Amino acid sequence: MRRIVITTGTTVAGVVLLLSLKPHHQAVSAAPPTGPEPSAPGGSAASAGPASGTYRGRTVHTRYGPVQVEITMAKGRLTAVRALRTPSENGRDREIAAFAIPRLNRKAVAAGGARIDTVSGATYTSEGYITSLQSALDRAHA
């Protein structure tokens, strides 16, 4: 009987400890709009017909740093995505970005949009990337 009480007490204490160490997630927030960001030559949100050109997404501030992408559109299709800003405050941030960004670029081009899954281990960077990507797509189709 004594072992049951000790085992139960230890289990409860362990569960409480684990729950108290659970990380608290912070929502990704986009920077407030400050007007259109310039796009590279050839990008024009006011063009007639299918979008063609280069468009910059909004800079999204994540827990680990800013994320911003630039897209290239040809005849209304997403043909390329390039990360302009990624978290880079320390070596681990750069390592995660170097791992995640190429995968996100491939996923976005293959999907033709921002409806892509996050990269495991790079959730905050992925969410910032997807938000910036969507804002660039919105600019392309405006």
List of domains in the chain: 26-140 (3.90.1010.20)
pLDDT on residue 138: 95
| Closest among 130, 78, 76, 84 to 103, alpha carbons compared | 130
Cα dist. 88→13, 63, 98 in Å?
Answer: 38, 12, 10
Tens digits of pLDDT across the chain (142 residues):
888 888 887 887 777 665 665 444 444 444 444 334 444 444 444 445 678 999 999 999 999 999 999 999 999 999 999 999 999 999 999 999 999 999 999 999 999 999 999 999 999 999 999 999 999 999 998 8
pTM: predicted TM-score of the whole model, two decimal places: 0.67
Cα dist. 104→6, 7, 31, 69, 70 in Å?
Answer: 49, 46, 21, 11, 13
pLDDT on residue 79: 95
pLDDT on residue 20: 62
Three-state secondary-structure class, residue 40: coil
pLDDT on residue 49: 65
pLDDT on residue 123: 95
pLDDT on residue 15: 72
